[in-house]
Amino acid sequence: MSSEPLIFELSSPGRRAFDLPALDVPEATLPGALRRGRAPELPEVSQLDLVRHFTHLSQRNMGIDTNFYPLGSCTMKYNPKVNEDVAALPGFANLHPYQSGDTVQGALEVMFELERWLAEISGMDAISLQPTAGSQGELTALFVCRAYHEKKGRRPRKVLVPDSSHGTNPASAALCGYEVETVKSDDKGHVDLEDLKARLSPDVACLMMTNPNTVGVFEKDVRAIAAMLHAVDAQLYYDGANLNAICGLARPGDMGCDMMHFNLHKTFSTPHGGGGPGAGPIGVKEHLRPFLPVPRVEKDASGYHLKEEGFPESIGRVRCFYGNFGLLLRGLVYMRALGGDGLPEVARGAVLNANYLLALLKDRFEAPYGDRCMHEFVLSASRQKRENGVSALDFAKRLLDFGYHAPTVYFPLIVPEALMVEPTETESKETLDAFAEVLRGIAREAVETPELLRQAPVNTVVGRLDEGKAARQPNLRWTPCPPPPA
Amino acid sequence: MPHPYLPLTDHDRAAMLKAIGEPAVDSLFDSIPPDLRLGRPLALPGHLSEMELAREFGRMAGANRPVSSLESYLGAGAYEHYAPSVVRHVLGRSEFYTSYTPYQPELTQGMLQAIWEYQSMVCLLTGMDVSNASLYEGGHALAESCLMACAATGRKKVVLAEGLHPEYRQVVKTYAGPQGIQVVEVPQAASGAADLKALEAHLDQDCAALAFMNPNFFGCLESGADLAGLAHSKGALLVACVEPVSLGLLAPPGDFGADIACGEGQPLGIPLSFGGPWVGFIACRQALVRRMPGRIAGITDDNRGQRAFVLTLQTREQHIRREKATSNICTNQTLLALAATVTLSALGPVGLQEVATQCLSKAHYLAGLVSRVPGVELPHAAPFFCEFTLRLPVESAGVCRAMRGQGILAGVELSRFDKARPRDLLVCATETKTRAQLDRYAEVLARAIKEAA
Amino acid sequence: MGVPADLRYTKSHEWARLEGGKVVVGITDFAVAAIKEIVFLELPPLGRAVEAAKPFGVIESVKAVFDLKAPVSGKVAEVNAKMAEDFEALARDPFVQGWLVKLEAPGADLSGLMDAAAYEKFCAEEHH
Reported as a single tens digit per residue, the pLDDT across B223-277 is 999 999 999 999 999 999 999 999 999 999 999 999 999 999 999 999 999 999 9
Q: How far is B230 from chain A (nearest CA, A)?
A: 18
Smallest CA-to-CA distance from A279 within A415, A82, A126, A128 is with A128
Residue A483's pLDDT band, with cuts at 50, 70 and 90, is: low
Q: Where in chain A is the domain with CATH 3.90.1150.10?
A: 349-470
At residue C17, the 3 state secondary structure works out as strand
Determine the Cα–Cα distance for residues A156 and B61; give it in Å rounded to an integer. Answer: 46
Domains and CATH numbers, chain B: 68-81+349-452 (3.90.1150.10), 85-343 (3.40.640.10)
> First and final CA of chain C: distance in angstroms?
19
Domain membership of residue C28 (yes or no) is yes
pLDDT at A475: 97
pLDDT over 80 (residue A435): yes
Q: Give me the sign of the Cα torsion angle C91, C95, C99, C101.
A: positive
Cβ within 8 Å, pair B362-A42: no
Chain C residues with CB under 8 Å of B288 CB are: none
- Say which amino acid occupies A74: C
**Percent over 90 (pLDDT), chain C:** 79
Q: Enumerate the β-bridge partners of residue A210.
A: A239
The predicted model gives C19-44 an average pLDDT of: 92
Question: Whole-number mean pLDDT of chain C?
Answer: 92
Query: How many other CB atoms are found less than 10 A from the CB of residue B205?
Result: 9
DSSP C76: E
pLDDT at B325: 85
Of the candidate ranges B72-86, B288-302, C112-126, the one whose mean pLDDT is the lowest: C112-126
- Say which amino acid occupies B452: A
Closest residue in B to C61 (Cα–Cα): B315
Tell me the per-residue pLDDT of B179-234, one tens digit each, with 9 for 90 and over: 999 999 999 999 999 999 999 999 999 999 999 999 999 999 999 999 999 999 99
At residue A314, the 3 state secondary structure works out as coil
Question: Whole-number mean pLDDT of chain B?
Answer: 97
- Say which amino acid occupies A335: M
The predicted model gives B342-356 an average pLDDT of: 98
Closest residue in A to B109 (Cα–Cα): A60
Smallest CA-to-CA distance from A457 within A472, A442, A440 is with A442
Residue B7's pLDDT band, with cuts at 50, 70 and 90, is: very high
Smallest CA-to-CA distance from B78 within B342, B428, B424 is with B428
Residue B1's pLDDT band, with cuts at 50, 70 and 90, is: low
Which helix (H) or strand (E) segment holds residue B10: the answer is helix B10-20
Q: How far is C62 from chain B (nearest CA, A)?
A: 7
CATH value of A82-337 in 3.40.640.10, 3.50.50.60, 1.10.10.10, 3.40.50.150: 3.40.640.10
Residue of A18, A246, A309 to mutate, testing the B interface (most B Cβ within 10 Å of its Cβ): A18
Query: Are A91 and B61 spatial neighbours (Cβ–Cβ below 8 Å)?
Result: yes
Query: Are B105 and B311 spatial neighbours (Cβ–Cβ below 8 Å)?
Result: yes
Q: What is the distance of C-alpha A326 from the center of its chain? A: 16
A472 contact C CB<8A: yes
Domain membership of residue C127 (yes or no) is no
Smallest CA-to-CA distance from B249 within B383, B433, B80 is with B383
CATH number at residue C62: 2.40.50.100
Smallest CA-to-CA distance from A435 within A74, A69, A77 is with A69
A neighbours by CB contacts (3+ pairs under 8 Å): B, C
DSSP C40: E
Cβ within 8 Å, pair A472-C60: no
Residue A1's pLDDT band, with cuts at 50, 70 and 90, is: low
pLDDT at B324: 84
Closest residue in B to C41 (Cα–Cα): B290
Cβ within 8 Å, pair C40-A471: yes
Q: Which residues of C touch A (CB under 8 A)?
A: 37, 39-40, 60-63, 87
Q: Where in chain A is the domain with CATH 3.40.640.10?
A: 82-337
Query: Are A223 and A193 spatial neighbours (Cβ–Cβ below 8 Å)?
Result: no
Residue B453's pLDDT band, with cuts at 50, 70 and 90, is: confident
- Using CB atoms, pick whichever of A27, A57, A62 lies closest to residue B361: A27
DSSP A159: E
Cis peptide before B379 (omega within 30 of 0): no
CA A163-B315-C11 angle, 5° bins? 65
Closest residue in A to C87 (Cα–Cα): A472
Chain B residues with CB under 8 Å of C61 CB are: 315
Q: How far is C39 from chain A (nearest CA, A)?
A: 5
Determine the Cα–Cα distance for residues A8 and C34; give it in Å rounded to an integer. Answer: 40
Determine the Cα–Cα distance for residues B6 and B242; give it in Å rounded to an integer. Answer: 46
Q: Enumerate the β-bridge partners of residue C23.
A: C18, C103
Q: How far is B301 from chain C (nearest CA, A)?
A: 15
Max Cα–Cα distance, chain A, nearest Å: 77
Determine the Cα–Cα distance for residues A187 and B405; give it in Å rounded to an integer. Answer: 68
CA A116-A122-A128 angle, 5° bins? 55
Determine the Cα–Cα distance for residues A324 and A262; give it in Å rounded to an integer. Answer: 13
pLDDT over 70 (residue A486): no
- Say which amino acid occupies A13: P
Q: What is the distance of C-alpha A479 from the center of its chain? A: 33
The predicted model gives A226-238 an average pLDDT of: 97
DSSP A350: H
DSSP C44: P
Write out the residue range of the structural domain in which residue C83 sits.
Answer: 8-106+115-121
Determine the Cα–Cα distance for residues B162 and B172; give it in Å rounded to an integer. Answer: 12
Domain A349-470 CATH class label = alpha beta
The predicted model gives A127-149 an average pLDDT of: 97
Domain membership of residue C2 (yes or no) is no
Beta strands in B95-145 (DSSP E): 130-131
Cβ within 8 Å, pair B315-C42: no
Cβ within 8 Å, pair B320-C64: yes
Q: Give me the sign of the Cα torsion angle B83, B85, B88, B90.
A: negative
Closest residue in A to B215 (Cα–Cα): A34
The predicted model gives A399-410 an average pLDDT of: 96
Domain membership of residue C128 (yes or no) is no
Tell me the per-residue pLDDT of B77-111, one tens digit each, with 9 for 90 and over: 999 999 999 999 999 999 999 999 999 999 999 99
DSSP B345: H
Query: Which stretches within chain C are classed as H helix?
Result: 29-35, 87-92, 116-127
Of the candidate ranges A421-435, B88-102, B317-331, the one whose mean pLDDT is the lowest: B317-331
pLDDT at B2: 84
- Say which amino acid occupies B292: M
Question: Whole-number mean pLDDT of chain A?
Answer: 96
- Using CB atoms, pick whichever of B290, B314, B324 lies closest to residue C63: B314
C neighbours by CB contacts (3+ pairs under 8 Å): A, B
Q: How far is B233 from chain A (nearest CA, A)?
A: 21
B314 contact C CB<8A: yes
pLDDT over 70 (residue C128): no
Phi, psi of B267 (to 5 degrees): -60, -15
DSSP B37: B
B neighbours by CB contacts (3+ pairs under 8 Å): A, C
Query: Are B410 and B73 spatial neighbours (Cβ–Cβ below 8 Å)?
Result: yes
Determine the Cα–Cα distance for residues B389 and B387; give it in Å rounded to an integer. Answer: 7
pLDDT at A434: 98
Exposure of B197 by Cβ count < 10 A (0-12 exposed, 13-18 middle, 19+ buried)? exposed
The count of structural domains within chain C is 1
Q: How far is A387 from chain B (nearest CA, A)?
A: 25
DSSP C52: B
